[in-house]
Amino acid sequence: METAEIQRRFLKFFESNGHTVVPSAPLPAIEDPNLLFINAGMVQFVPYFLGQATPPWNRATSIQKCLRTPDIDEVGKTSRHGTFFQMNGNFSFGDYFKEQAIRFAWDLSTGSVESGGLGLDGDRIWATVYLDDDESIDIWHKQIGLPLDRIVRRGQVDNMWSMGIPGPCGPCSELYYDRGPDYGPEGGPEVDEDRYLEFWNLVFMQQERGEGPAKENYEILGDLPKKNIDTGMGMERLAALLQGVDNMYEIDQVRPLIDKTSELTGRRYGVSTSHTASESHPDDVRFRIIADHVRSSLMLIGDGIVPSNEGRGYVLRRIMRRAIRAVRLLGYDKPAMPELLPVARDCMAPAYPELAEDFERISSYAYGEEEAFLSTLKHGTTILDTAVTETKREGGRTLSGAKAFELHDTYGFPIDLTLEMASEQGLQVDEDGFRQLMAEQRRRAKADAAARKTSHADLTAYWDLLSEHGPSDWRAYETLDTESRVVGLLSEGRPVPVAGAGQIVEVVLDRTPFYAESGGQHADAGVLTGSNVRAEVLDVQRPVKKLVVHQVRVLEGELVLDDQVEARVDPEWRLGARQAHSGTHVVHAALREVLGPSALQSGSFNRPGYLRLDFSWRSKLSETAKSEIEDVSNRAVREDLPVAVKYMTLPEAKEFGALALFGETYDETVRVVEIGGPWSRELCGGTHVSHASQIGPLVITGESSVGSGQRRVEAATGIEAYRYLARERDLVSQIAEELGAQRGDVIERVRALLQRSKDAERELANLQAKMTSGRAAEYAGAARQLGPVKFAGVKAPDGTKGGDVRQLATQIRSHLPDGEPGVAAVVAAAGGKASLVVAVNAAAKARHVSAAELVKAALSGRGGGNEDIAQGGGVPADQADGLLDEIARAITE
């Protein structure tokens, strides 16, 4: 059974049993500051379990995309670990409990394939329960009919589930499938978890845990307000069972990647995949790293992560680099992503069609990252080679830990790469030193993260306000002005009754006209005024869904809880914001009109007068493309295209051609903003003008690169666009005045000036060459006689550069008498270092005088060149004179 089919059956089963199908949250865990990525199906429901928010449904089901990276170094070593996986879940929020949850799991698992079930053999299923959970044992035995010898009691580590951090938790019951004697000894999950494969975890979520170790001996804070169900079925494991294959690497969503890799590299997978082998062949490890990581990269970029050096972006970068490097170690040295990523797409698109739609953008990041890493590899290789040569020259056999760390830290060289490349050149690496430096760095990073970390507890004050007063009555679309009551006042996250002049506090109002920052639009500015208070609004955010929080500075009087205030948005500000936001949509549509539909926005920001928009594009925009985009934008303004706002369901909006941002979750009803009908349709919650002419002039002020495959355009709108143009005009006036020219002649005049300065430079260079040549004759004339050899040793004027030193030496040589042996040596000092060039004529060469030997004699073995001419340097400048003496001595000898 294909994985996509398991997905369909799972959702259908629970939907027909009264569950609402909830889309997977995007992989980045944005709402949870403790997590980088969603790592379990229940993460998006945590506030419901904790009673911090009211769920819109009592029953839900989802297929959640998950990523776990703590044991990334283990991935591939066995076939058990992977980074990306999918968790199929059904959830009850205070609705059904143990009995029904067990019944559902059993019925779906063992239901016949014809009747929509998964067709597992009930006689091979085992169940585990938490130590004293007799109730579950009863349900398994008496209601389901599972024999008692296939029900196992297990302790806290195995059968008490929590996220490993403070949050909801509860005892669980797990379903295992017996894969038969080929996989290990009999005796149930306590004996062998390879033979008995866990495939479904039913958590009876009923308590809240506090700080403490991840798996046991943590503090239980108390009971949750309701008894809930959270189940997680491992999609990949189930797919392996139903497809009759050994592990997740063999299933339909993964195996084609291994086959493609095999085709590219000519290597064979499966040298050691027997499930009893304890250690894998290195090639098999690489195959699995590639398959897992390419798939994870696809899913991560699909959900809006881009490679970077921080946080989530760094995890992606690391994953990609491990894959690229594994490909290289299998002997394939061309870019592999363009071969592999489309295979991953074809594997995943049946379940995630958006990956195919968005593939242009996804692949441009992936290919760009691979290109960048391959050039890093090249560059790092040079650094490594130099280090190896140096180590050898100094007689060492071990590359220092510091060098290995530098390669890792600066050039992204994994240590195993350094180890391998060093050993190819006969060196070892000080791994202990390296690991020590890594540990130090990790300690620093941890300390940083701890300093930044906020936890669920920090959001508690907001959740409390939300449950006490309900969602903010948000009027930003209708009015700039509301009569409001102060329902919440927080100072540094804690409720306070009053705030005095000068204080900065957070304010929650029952009703507000303020736009909270979102969708790239900056928060509104404005004031709160009451009979005894005036406060300036500095920022407006929505830290938890549906709660608008204003950060304000009290200017006069006192802001008191329960006060009546007038909340007023600065109308100038809002007009500017509307212009800038509509301007952003216009520029986006213009980009796509000029560059084509693949120029898709990946992020944006706008505030009054300014907008910027990031989009996927490989190369710098030409001047023509830029002015075309500007023209098309201003055409929309001139044509005064109407702006309309429509509400519809997400599928309707997609049908309607509205552009949605990847990686966002949208509510059931979405808001579509269109400008000029189909010309620009985007899902957007921002504030907009009602006709394009209200945007005013729109001027592109910049275009730059923001990471590989990503460009940024910046523009000014409204009065700021006018001011920008006025500044440019003043600049031209000033230049014209400096030049004493008419404005229209400025370009001509600047060209002429540049030409003159070029001519003058050329003339100067000629004169200098003549002077050098004149001096060369003089120097040659003053040559000393050392035995049979004429020696002209010269110190060039300070600051003479390398090329000129060389030229002077050859010119002196040409002025030495032809038939007699002659040597010219020139030293020069620049930047605190001395350099030396020696030139030898034919007659001297005939007497076995060699330029290279002379340089080596003067510089104790260093320097390079041949018998005719050679150079060297790098010694301190004050040794320059000494070098000439050394050469004279060497000639005499």
Residue list 165-224, contact with ligand SER (CB under 6 A): 201, 203
Nearest residue to 611 (alpha-carbon basis) of 620, 601, 621: 601
Contact 175, 200 (CB under 8 A): yes
Window of 228-236, 436-444, 563-571, 668-676 that interacts with ligand SER by CB under 6 A? 228-236
Task: Indicate which single residue of 42, 330, 591, 828 sits in contact with ligand SER (rule: CB under 6 A).
Answer: 42
Rg of the chain, C-alpha, whole Å:
36
Nearer to ligand SER, 99 or 360 (CB): 99
Up-side HSE of residue 428: CA atoms within 13 Å toward CB?
A: 7
Q: Does 519 bind ligand SER (CB under 6 A)?
A: no
Terminal C-alpha separation, the chain: 88
Least CB distance to ligand SER at residue 206 (A): 13
Tell which positions 337-376 bind ligand SER, by CB under 6 A: none
Based on the shown chain and the rule CB under 6 A, indicate whether residue 24 belongs to the binding site for ligand SER.
Answer: no
Give dist(CA 858, CA 814) in Å, integer: 23
8 A C-beta contact, residue 338 and residue 369: no
C-beta closer to ligand SER: residue 163 or 805: 163
Q: How far apart are CA 789 and CA 537, in angstroms?
A: 87
Nearer to ligand SER (CB atom), residue 39 or residue 604: 39
Question: Of 241 and 632, which CB lies nearer to ligand SER in the complex structure?
Answer: 241
The answer to whether the beta carbons of residues 672 and 660 sit under 8 Å apart is no
For ligand SER, which residue has the nearest CB? 232
Nearest to 614 by CA among 434, 239, 361, 789: 361
User: What part of residues 571-590 is at the interface with ligand SER (CB under 6 A)?
Assistant: none
Specify whether the CB–CB gap between 398 and 422 falls below 8 A.
no
Nearer to ligand SER, 40 or 554 (CB): 40
Binding to ligand SER (CB under 6 A) within 734-763 occurs at none
Task: Write down the least CB distance from residue 46 to ligand SER, Å.
Answer: 10
Min separation Cβ 449 and ligand SER, Å: 23
Phi, psi of 690 (to 5 degrees): -100, -15
40 near ligand SER, rule: CB under 6 A? yes
Please select the residue that binds ligand SER; options are 232, 302, 513, 872, rule is CB under 6 A.
Answer: 232
Distance, CA of 838 to CA of 845 (rounded, Å):
12
With CB under 6 A as the contact rule, which of the stretches 35-43, 282-290, 584-592, 826-834 interacts with ligand SER? 35-43
Q: How far is the CB of 89 from ligand SER (least distance, A)?
A: 5
Closest by CA position to 506, among listed 496, 516, 519, 515: 496
Is the CB of 40 or the CB of 336 nearer to ligand SER? 40
- Which residue in the set 26, 28, 41, 168 belongs to the binding site for ligand SER (CB under 6 A)? 41
Could you write out the DSSP letters of every residue in 795-806? EPPTT--HHHHH
How near is the Cβ of 213 to ligand SER at its closest, in Å?
18
Residue in 230, 283, 292, 682 binding ligand SER, rule: CB under 6 A: 230
Q: Does 231 bind ligand SER (CB under 6 A)?
A: yes
Indicate the residue among 201 and 364 with the shorter CB distance to ligand SER. Answer: 201
What SS3 state is found at 672? strand
Nearer to ligand SER, 152 or 587 (CB): 152
Cβ distance to ligand SER smaller for residue 45 or 662 = 45
Contact 296/323 with Cβ under 8 angstroms? no
Closer to ligand SER by Cβ: residue 86 or 582: 86
Reading phi first (left if > 0) and then psi (alpha if -120 to 50, else beta), residue 116 is in: left
Closer residue to ligand SER (CB): 201 or 512: 201
Please give the Cα distance from 742 to 720 (Å, whole number): 27
**Which residues between 105 and 164 bind ligand SER (CB under 6 A)?**
161
AA letter at 3 = T
In the complex, minimum distance from the CB of residue 170 to ligand SER, in angstroms, rounded to a whole number: 9
Q: How far apart are CA 133 and CA 458, in angstroms?
A: 34
Which residues ranging from 51 to 110 are in contact with ligand SER (CB under 6 A)?
A: 89
Judged by beta carbon, residue 42 or residue 613, the one nearer ligand SER is 42
For the record, the structure tokens of 721 come out as 């666009």
CB of 107 to ligand SER, least distance (A): 18
Cβ closest to ligand SER, residue 46 vs residue 840: 46
**Residues forming a β-bridge with 613:** 604, 713
How far, in Å, are 428, 436, 443, 742, 839 from residue 432 at the CA level?
A: 12, 6, 16, 71, 49
Q: Which two tokens stand for residue 314?
A: 């760094």
- Point out which span in 38-46, 456-464, 569-577, 688-696 binds ligand SER (CB under 6 A): 38-46
- x/- string (CB under 6 A) for ligand SER, residues 295-324? ------------------------------
Instruction: Decide if residue 380 touches ligand SER (CB under 6 A).
Output: no
User: How many chain residues bind ligand SER (CB under 6 A)?
Assistant: 10
What angle separates helix 401-411 from helix 359-393, to the nearest 10 degrees? 160
SS3 36: coil
Contact (Cβ atoms closer than 8 angstroms) between residue 588 and residue 680: yes
Q: Which CA distances in Å does 456 have to 459, 547, 762?
A: 5, 16, 70
> Where along the sequence are the contacts to ligand SER (CB under 6 A)?
40-42, 89, 161, 201, 203, 230-232
